[in-house]
Every structure is written in C-alpha cells, then in structure tokens.
Amino acid sequence: MSDPRSRLIVALDIPDRKAALEAVKRLSGHVGYFKLGLEIFTREGPDLVTEIRDRGEKIFLDLKLHDIPNTVRGAVRSACQLGIHMLTVHASGGAAMLLAASQEAQSFVSPPLVLAVTALTSLSDEEIRKLGVTLSAEQWVERLGELAYSSGIRGIVASSKELPMLRAKFGDSLKLVIPGIRPAGTALQDQSRTATPAEAIRAGADYIVVGRPILQAPDPARAADSIVAEIYG
C-alpha cells in the first residue's frame, strides 16, 4: 500500500444520507474507504452505496451477515452487484455459511474482500463468558480465524489485542482489519478492546477503522490527516 491513506477506513456512523454525503465530500482524498454499517444502510439502502461509489470512493459494506448459508449467499450476491470493495460476515455463522459467502464473492470479476468478524470490540472478557464461551477472547478469535480461513475467507475483523497472534499464525495470508481505534487522548465510548492507530499498525493491522474521533472533530479532514501522520510520522 504505497499511499498511507489507503489504510484508513472511516466509519460513517451517521443517521442520514445528507450528513453522510457531506462527510464523504469533506473527507474525499484523505481516507481510503468509507464504511457503511447497519444504521445508515437500513435507513438509506443501496442507493446511498451507489451514490458514494459513483463519486469514485471505495465502499466497505459492514452488515455482518449471519444467517443460513443460502440466505447469506444471496445477500453477498446483492452486495457484490453494488460494486463494493469490502463486506463483512460473522465468523460464528459456521463453515458452510462462510464458504457460501466466499464462493459467491469469488464468482464476480472484481470480488470484494470478504471479512469474517470474530469477537466484537465492544465485548469485554466478562461479556464473552456470559455468552457461554469458555475460551479466552484471544483463543476464541483464533478458533474463529481458523474456521474462516479454512472456509476460503481471506480477511478478518478483530481487535488490536489479537493482532500479534493473528499475524503470527496467518502471516500475510489474511488481511487484518481493526476497528475500535481511538487516537491517543480520546474517550473509549462503547469500545472495550481498543488501540491507538500507531499501536494497531505496529502490531500488524492492514487497515484501521475510525469513526467518531474523525466525524465529530471540528475539522474531520484535518483529524484524518492527523491519524495518518500518527501512523507514519
């Protein structure tokens, strides 16, 4: 990745189309991807994806698909038809579901990178135990990563805490996308397992996801540039 900005993904955790498009306009050329999640996609639908894509931007569609294999296959097909660059599914959906997602994406001429979400960064160790998972968070992420990789998935979403383990285990065979990024001195808000941009990149992240610290800054473009400088400065 010759352009350091290409490693920065901005989460458009914004409730409506007008605000999202304004953020895209202000941040164009300062970041690599725009991530659209459940809130805004549920409200605005595929038209917003198309509108941002037609501005020449790269789209990360973060819907965390989790359903029976045939349903996920159809959802991946619909998403790929939008010309997106990244798409998430839940690793806990199982091998058959992950394989269906991978195969469907690869049937397209320009397939998006399908990313398997492991443990949400909002989950603490205590909350993970309440789910009935007897493994540690790192062991759970490792198990889900192995499942995803064996099912044809070549990208993982995990917290920075699991980054060294994932990079050591999979080398460069998996792209690692790390959410829960908080620049030094900012509040954690609803995240439990976080890191600064520099920490995540040093630990092996291919991409980092930042939302509110950029979008809620007085000057979002300057905030994005500061994060890139923090990584590479």
Q: Give the catalytic positions in this structure.
A: 64
Between CA 176 and CA 159 the distance in angstroms is: 9
Alpha carbons 1 and 7: distance in angstroms, whole number: 8
Closest CA to 20 of 28, 88, 78: 28
Q: Distance of CA 100 to CAs 60, 88, 126, Å? A: 19, 13, 32
Rounded to an integer, what distance in angstroms lies between the CA atom of residue 117 and that of residue 190?
A: 18
Q: Kind and range of the H or E element at 106?
A: helix 95-106
- Dihedral (CA of 76, 57, 23, 199) sign: positive
Beta strand 207-210 pairing with 33-36: unpaired
In terms of Cβ atoms closer than 10 Å to its own Cβ (0-12, 13-18, 19+), residue 54 is exposed
Beta strand 175-178 pairing with 155-157: parallel
Burial 137-162 (b: 16+ CB within 10 A, else e): bbebbbebbebbbebbbbbbbbbbbb
